[in-house]
Amino acid sequence: MASVNDTIQDEYLVRAIELERYKRGVSMRVLKLLADLEERLVARMQSLDPTSVQPRYKSARLTRLLAEVADLIDDYGKAVEAEVMPDMTRLARDEGDFGVRLLTEVPPVALDVIAPAGRILEAAATTRPFQGRILREWVTDHTPAVRARTRALIRQGVAEGQTIAQMIQGLRGTAKAGYRDGIMEVSRRGAEALVRTAVNHTVTAARDALYEANSDLISGVKWVATLDGRTSDVCASRDGRVFPLGSGPRPPAHPNCRSTTVPVLKSWAQLGIPLGEAPEGTRASMDGQVAGRVTYGGWLRAKPAAFQEEVLGVTKAKLFRDGGLELDKFVDFRGRSYTLDELRKRAPAAFAKAGVD
């Protein structure tokens, strides 16, 4: 029979699929705000006097135009913050509730599960830094980037004497390229990365708050990466590793990170329940073992060489395949990928074994 840890991990993996749909929903709302901003920017640019868009465009008029554009973008930023932040606080509470249900319903015996207060879950999501910034800073830092790109586009267009149509094309892109060659496409990718990263952080922070509140039941936190060709080096290297409560790395490891965490419940003995007193038929289900699952390294090793090279690059794939170098050796403790020169110094035997010069 499947262990409790196996079942909990399976439920969290199903939850991950649901969260991907949730990310898409929030992203669509933010992208709608960005599309509205684009329309307002285009309307403002179209209102310019065509004869005035020249290198001699007066400094005062250019300054006024840039100020008006900045105001439009600031309004967009406030709308994004108002859209995303309440969603994240609700998500933190929902994720806590989901985890409590799993810890209550899956084990074969009634455990004394502590449900963290909603304010604690919200605080975990909103005040815990990830990659050097707290959640609100991740949300608000998106706007200055949009402003800087738009400002540079207008200034360059004026300096080069572009027509209004050319400046708008630089903003929107061209129909031939599916409007993916304008600066707004960069902003769209940034908006989507913002949402996906914010959701991942919120979920991880809420789970950590739950895990730490139930440290008497949980022995560690397992990193679970997505098994596909888009998984980053750092996430692949951490897949399957179990970290102590309250320490070690947590997702998101980078923007757009899709990794997640699952708890590792303690064994009967660790919970203070003698095996002989455990309910008959459930003794093997609370063995305290990490959930059985193929790790990213094991999954990748079973793939064709061409796929390994697509994921890792030709040389690293050969080191992985023929040199016996495991994925965690490709990154440092911060999750930064080593260069080939750095790897050669750190693992010369793997290079020799793989026949890599």
Distance CA 55, CA 32 (A): 34
pLDDT confidence bin for 2, thresholds 50/70/90:
low
pLDDT confidence bin for 305, thresholds 50/70/90:
confident
Residue 293 domain flag: no
Report the greatest alpha carbon distance in the chain.
90
Asked if 335 and 273 sit in the same domain, the reply is: no
The residue out of 261, 286, 311 marking a domain boundary is 286
Residue 277: per-residue pLDDT:
52
Asked if 264 and 341 sit in the same domain, the reply is: no
Asked if 200 and 329 sit in the same domain, the reply is: no
pLDDT confidence bin for 131, thresholds 50/70/90:
confident
The residue out of 240, 255, 286 marking a domain boundary is 286
More confident position, 190 or 295: 190
pLDDT digits (tens, 9 = 90+) for 241-269: 999 999 999 999 999 999 999 999 998 78
Asked if 107 and 144 sit in the same domain, the reply is: yes
Residue 52: per-residue pLDDT:
56
For strands 260-265 and 242-243, give the pairing: unpaired
Domain membership of residue 323 as a residue range: 303-354
Residue 296 domain flag: no
Residue 310: per-residue pLDDT:
84
Residue 105 domain flag: yes
Asked if 307 and 269 sit in the same domain, the reply is: no
Q: What is the average pLDDT score of the chain?
A: 87
Residue 210: per-residue pLDDT:
97
Q: Hey, what's the torsion of the CAs at 40, 42, 44, 50, to 10 degrees? A: -170
Coil vs helix vs strand at 140: helix
Asked if 209 and 67 sit in the same domain, the reply is: yes
Crossing angle for the helix pair 4-46 and 164-172, nearest 10 degrees?
180
- Say which residue the tokens 């001699």 belong to: 56
Q: By percentage, how much of the chain surpasses pLDDT 90?
A: 53
Residue 269: per-residue pLDDT:
81
Strands (E), the chain: 218-224, 242-243, 260-265
Asked if 53 and 95 sit in the same domain, the reply is: yes
Residue 290: per-residue pLDDT:
55
Asked if 157 and 270 sit in the same domain, the reply is: yes
pLDDT digits (tens, 9 = 90+) for 273-304: 766 555 555 545 555 555 666 677 877 787 88
pLDDT digits (tens, 9 = 90+) for 23-65: 999 999 999 999 999 999 999 988 876 655 554 556 777 888 8
Distance CA 39, CA 187 (A): 14
Asked if 345 and 257 sit in the same domain, the reply is: no
The residue out of 286, 311, 341 marking a domain boundary is 286
Instruction: State the average pLDDT over residues 108-137.
Output: 92
Residue 17: per-residue pLDDT:
84
Residue 292 domain flag: no
Asked if 349 and 200 sit in the same domain, the reply is: no
Instruction: State the average pLDDT over residues 122-151.
Output: 93
291 touches 5 (CB < 8 A): yes
Instruction: State the average pLDDT over residues 116-145.
Output: 93
Residue 298 domain flag: no
SS3 content of the chain, % helix, strand, coil (to 5): 60, 5, 35
Instruction: State the average pLDDT over residues 11-24.
Output: 90
Whether 171 shows a pLDDT value over 60: the answer reads: yes
More confident position, 91 or 286: 91
Asked if 53 and 200 sit in the same domain, the reply is: yes
Residue 283: per-residue pLDDT:
47
Instruction: State the average pLDDT over residues 157-182.
Output: 90
pLDDT digits (tens, 9 = 90+) for 334-351: 677 888 888 888 888 888
Residue 214 domain flag: yes
Residue 5: per-residue pLDDT:
86
For the chain, how many structural domains are there in total? 2
Give the residue from 192, 249, 236 showing the smallest Cα distance to 20. Answer: 192
Residue 332 domain flag: yes
More confident position, 166 or 273: 166
Asked if 8 and 45 sit in the same domain, the reply is: yes
Residue 251 domain flag: yes
